[in-house]
Structure 1
Amino acid sequence: MLPDPTLPSVRVEPLPYETRLEARPLSQVDLVVIHCTELPDMAMARRFGEEVLYPASGTGNCGHFYIDRDGSVHRYVAVERVAHHTRGYNPRSVGIELVNRGRYPDWLAASHQTMDEPYTGAQIAALETLLRHLQATLPTLRYIAGHEDLDTTEVDATDDPGQRVRRKRDPGPLFPWPTVLQAVALERLGA
C-alpha cells in the first residue's frame, strides 16, 4: 500500500502546557493562519513557545505547527486545542509558523522593518502538503490568511516613538502567496 500523500511526516513535540490550552471541536476550525517565527532558528522558536506568558492559565504564545527551513514539520499543539497565535482568531484557526528571521531582533524598530529572508522550497513544499492534509481532515476548513492580514495594529517604533510600525508583518512580502493559493483550495481572508 502506498503512503497517503496528503499526510506529512510530522514530529509530535507537545509544548509542556499543551493540555492546559482550551479544547475545541474540530467543526469550529475554518481558518489557517500563516506566520513566520521572526526568530533565527527552530531552537529559539521552541524556547519562545515554551514561555509562560499567561500565568492564570499557565500558557504562552504558540502555533500548532512549525516548519523548519529543511521542510521538517513539528507539531507543538494538537489541532483539537486552541493555540495562542492570532488575536481574535484563535478559537477558529490553526496556526502554522515558518522558521524565518523576519525582523529579528529589532521587530518594532522603524529602521528595521525589511523582511529579506526568502522561504525555502522545502518549507513551502512541506506547507502545501500540511495544508492539503488539514483540508482532508478538517471538513470545515475554508480560509487561509497571513498574520499580517488579521492583525493590523500599529505601535510606536522602539527606536523612534514619533513613528508607527505594524506590530505584525508576517509572513511578510517574500511569502509566495500565488504558489500556495494555487496548490490548495482555500480562500484568502483579510487580504
Structure 2
Amino acid sequence: MKIVPLLALTALVAGCATVPPPDAPRFDHSLTARAQSERIKYVILHYTVSDLPRSINTLANGTQVSAHYLLTDTSPPFFYTLVDESRQANHAGYSNWKIYNQLNAASIGIEIVNPGFRETPQGRVYAPFQQAQIDQLIPLLKDIVKRHNIPFGNILGHNDIAPQRKQDPGPMFPWKQLADAGLIPWPEPSRVTARMAGFQEQLPEVSWFQRKLAEIGYAVPQNGELDQATRNVIAVFQTKYRPSLYDGTPDAETAAMMDVLTSPVPQLPPPAATLPVTPASPAQPDVPSESN
C-alpha cells in the first residue's frame, strides 16, 4: 500500500529536477529571420598524394588537417566519413574565392586517394583517377548540393581557391564529367570556337585576363603584368578546362573559354503570341432584289 505514495514522490522529485533555475536564459522559438542562408556554400575537392593507409593516418589521426569525406581507391571505392558536415574540417587552409576567404568555415572537403604526381626527366606526370571513384563521387556531390542548396558552380578544386600553392586535384581530374552531370558550368565548345577567331586576330591585354579570372572567382593580381602569380592562376584555369596544355600562357583559346564562362547565353525572346484566326464566312450568292 506504500508503493503508490513512493512512486508519486519519485515522480515529483524527477519533475522538480527538470525545472530550470529562475536565472536561466529564456527562449522564444516562434520567430525565424528571413535573412539567413546555409553555412555551407562550397565543396572543395582534393587528392591525397599518398596511399590509403597514409591518407587515413594523416586525415583521421593527425592534428593538422582533416576532411569531411575520404574516398578510397579500393575495389569498389567507398567513403570514410571523418568529420560530420555540421562541423568544420581543416582542409582548405589559406584560401580565397570571390568574396570569401578561409573557406574551411564555409565548405565541405572531400579527399580522394590518389598519388598525385611524380617528377620525371620529361617533367611532372600526374596519376589518373579511377572511374569507379568518380562514379561514387558524383552521387555524393549531387546529394550535398541538394541538401545544402549549394549554388551552381561552387564545387571547386583546392587549386582553384589556393592557386599559388596547390595543384590538386590536378589535370587528370575529370571535371567535364561533373559538368555533364549538371554540377559545374562548362564553356560550350561551339561558343568557344566562335570567339576564338577574334582573339586569334587580337589577343587581349594581360589586364583583361586578370579581370576575367577575378570575375570567375579567382584571387589574381590586377596589375596588368604577366607575373608568375598571374601565370599560376591562368595555369590552374587551364588545368580544369583545357588539361591538354596548362603552361599559364594567355592564348586565344584560353581567352575564348574565359569569355564564354563570364558571358551568359543570350536568351531569345519568346515567340509573339498569335491571335486565333477566325475563318472567313463563305461568300454568299447575289440575291435579286424584289423591288423595282
The bucket for the TM-score relative to the shorter chain is: 0.5 to 0.7
> Residue type of the partner of 1:103?
F
**Separation in 1, partners of 2:123, 2:111:** 19
Q: Choose between structure 1 and 2: higher strand proportion.
A: 1
Q: 1:149 matched to which residue of 2?
A: 160
Change over 3 Å in CA distance of 1:79–1:111 after alignment to 2:
farther
Please tell me whether the aligned partners of residues 155 and 183 of structure 2 are also in contact (alpha carbons under 8 angstroms): no
SS in structure 2 of the partner of residue 184 of structure 1: coil
Q: 2:276 matched to which residue of 1?
A: none
Structure 1 position 141, deviation (Å): 4.7
Please tell me whether the aligned partners of residues 178 and 184 of structure 2 are also in contact (alpha carbons under 8 angstroms): no
Question: What is the aligned-residue RMSD (CA, Å)?
Answer: 2.5
Q: Choose between structure 1 and 2: higher helix proportion.
A: 2
Q: 2:96 matched to which residue of 1?
A: none
- Structure with higher Rg: it is 2
Identity %: 27
Where do residues 156-171 of structure 1 align in structure 2 (5 Å cutoff)? 167-171=165-169
Answering whether residue 88 of structure 2 is matched by residue 82 of structure 1, we say yes
Of the three residues 131, 145, 159, the one matched with 1:135 is 145
Change over 3 Å in CA distance of 1:84–1:64 after alignment to 2:
same
Where do residues 4-43 of structure 1 align in structure 2 (5 Å cutoff)? 27-39=38-50, 41-43=51-53
Q: 2:271 matched to which residue of 1?
A: none
**Separation in 1, partners of 2:163, 2:123:** 15
Unaligned runs of at least 5 residues, structure 2: 1-35, 94-101, 187-216, 219-236, 238-292
Larger RCO (alpha carbons 8 Å, 6+ apart): 1
Q: Which runs of 4+ in 1 moved over 6 A?
A: 109-113
Alignment size in residue pairs: 142
